[in-house]
A and B are shown apart, each in its own frame.
With several copies, the nearest count.
Chain A
Amino acid sequence: MKKLINDPRSVVPDMLEGLATLHPGHALLEGENVVLRSDLPPLPERRGVALISGGGAGHEPAHAGYVGAGMLSAAVTGEVFTSPGTDAVLAAIRAVAGADGVLLIVKNYTGDRLNFGLAAELARGEGIAVELVVVADDVALRDTVEAGRRRGVAGTVLVHKVAGAAAAAGLPLAEVAREAREAAAAVGTMGVALGACTVPAAGRAGFTLGEDEIELGLGIHGERGVRRTTLEPAAAIVGTILETILSDAAIAAGEQVALLVNGLGGTPPMELAIVAAEAIAQLRARGVHVARAWSGNLLTALEMPGCSLSVMRLDALRLQRLDAPTSAPAWPRGG
């Protein structure tokens, strides 16, 4: 394993120290792997609904990069690819909760669901209003598991944005949660890996692929995908993925969508831009109107080469939420 680190056992705190120093808008919660907005209004009644997301480390810039006005109030980080324990989540809830309560945005992995869910129960026991929204956007699993058990992947970033803008607009917790849930239901994602990644503590790659092999429908934790196949031109891979997403969501000609081409870490912007050009062209050819599109490393799996496509169905309000300003450093410009 070749990594620019000091000690595999301390990568998470070492990283968070760097991130907090690099971003003036971020602060670390003492004793926990939690990044907070440093500009949270001190008065609890001024905070509005606080948003918290998180999960294992290794998905950077997620989730700390989405902490900022208009997106998250805090990001909770576990060990690499491991959901945080309940203590860290509970500490984050206590740190950011104001009078209007807290929304937890959770990717649909058992560990995240259980730990955030347990922390939410404990916080409610302390009198804090907490709602939990689970994102399960991975359509790769559509033939394998029922809809509620799909994984949460890159579409989560778009859900953060929608919910963050709704919270910044001053909506109450129930309304922010409703918009987040609707956004989560409106987005489908599917990924392709060209290789594996190495968790620092494990020291070796989670799987290996042959010279010409790719893995369709992989997760964002180095876990294997749903189908191994042969490398094809970008146009063919994009076609397969879009077909799966669009048919799953029954997106038809004339509908308006946002497209996210998310790099998994090891794929350069050149390839992501080529994939994006291809995806936009294919969506247009199907008569789907691509109102917004981004490409970049938004929710990664360490240095894994590959990408995912996310397509989110839009209405006027959701488009407005995506366009709303945010100071979160990792939210992409343009669109």
Chain B
Amino acid sequence: MADELDAVAVRAMLLQVCTRMIENTDRLTEADQAVGDGDHGIGMRRGFTAARDKLEALEPASVAEVFKTVGTAVMAQTGGASGAVFGTLYRAGATACGDHALDAATFLAFLEQGLAAVQKRGGAVPGAKTMIDALAPAAEAARAAQADGLAAMIRAAADAAQQGVQASRDMIATTGKARTLGERSLGHPDPGAISMQIQLAAMQDYVAGQRED
């Protein structure tokens, strides 16, 4: 099992992310219909379809370029809060990668720098029922799994994101369109958190698949 991924492998991993996000359009639509305005699934499909098209045309020179390609396409084409938010995550995260291959330390830096940029850009804090409530625990779990290598770190991050999605059920939305719902948003998970979790799970599955080779 590779405990490091080169740019071509990262491209393959992010293509898997794109595919999963596109496949989950309906699930994300339903989640956003419950607490938001119902456009999250279609927006993510638009953004990650654009990202997939860009990735497929890309001869990646670096890991950073791969992440940045996804971030730029998602930001440019998605629209909505999530386009800017996930675009920012991948674009800011990309700057953490430098020229390295993707290893555990780089992946941790990706998550932490991405998280910081998303918080700065959108102004939301943990507990506000956003994708941050999946991303922040994921980054925390990744830091705790620092010594365990890339595959284990991604698995830990994906698991933590999944728990973050569950925890977001009990949060009251104070940002985004769901905020007017106040207590009515209780009981439903945050759509963007689900998206974050799907993306990390796709990465985990890709890396796990790699290991079986």
Contact = CB atoms under 8 A, between A and B. Distances in A.
A229 to B, nearest CB: 14
Interface of A: 56, 78-87, 109-111, 114-115, 117-118, 140-141, 144-145, 149, 151, 199, 201-202, 206, 217-219, 221-226
Contacts of B201: none
Given A85-B78, A87-B77, A111-B83, A199 B179 contact: no
Interface of B: 29, 33, 36-39, 42-43, 46-47, 75-85, 87-88, 121-122, 174-182, 184
Nearest to B77: A85
Contacts of A206: 33, 37-38
Contacts of B182: 144, 226
B162 to A, nearest CB: 24
A131 to B, nearest CB: 19
Given A82-B79, A86-B75, A115-B84, A109 B177 contact: yes
Contacts of A83: 79-81, 83
A78 B79 contact: yes
Contacts of B174: 145, 149
13 contacts: A82-B37, A83-B79, A85-B77, A85-B78, A86-B76, A111-B79, A111-B81, A117-B84, A144-B182, A145-B174, A201-B39, A221-B177, A224-B180
Interface-centre pick from B36, B76, B77 (highest chain A CB count, 10 A): B76
A201 B177 CA distance: 18
Secondary structure at the A interface, as helix, strand, loop or mixed, is loop
A114 B79 contact: no
B49 to A, nearest CB: 12
A73 B184 CA distance: 40
Contacts of B84: 86, 110-111, 114-115, 117-118
Nearest to B185: A224
B42 A79 contact: yes
A85 B175 contact: no
A56 B42 CA distance: 13
A166 B122 CA distance: 31
B125 to A, nearest CB: 13
Contacts of B175: 110, 149
A-B complex: 9 closest residue pairs judged by Cβ atoms:
A114-B84, A87-B76, A110-B81, A111-B81, A111-B80, A78-B79, A85-B79, A82-B39, A82-B80
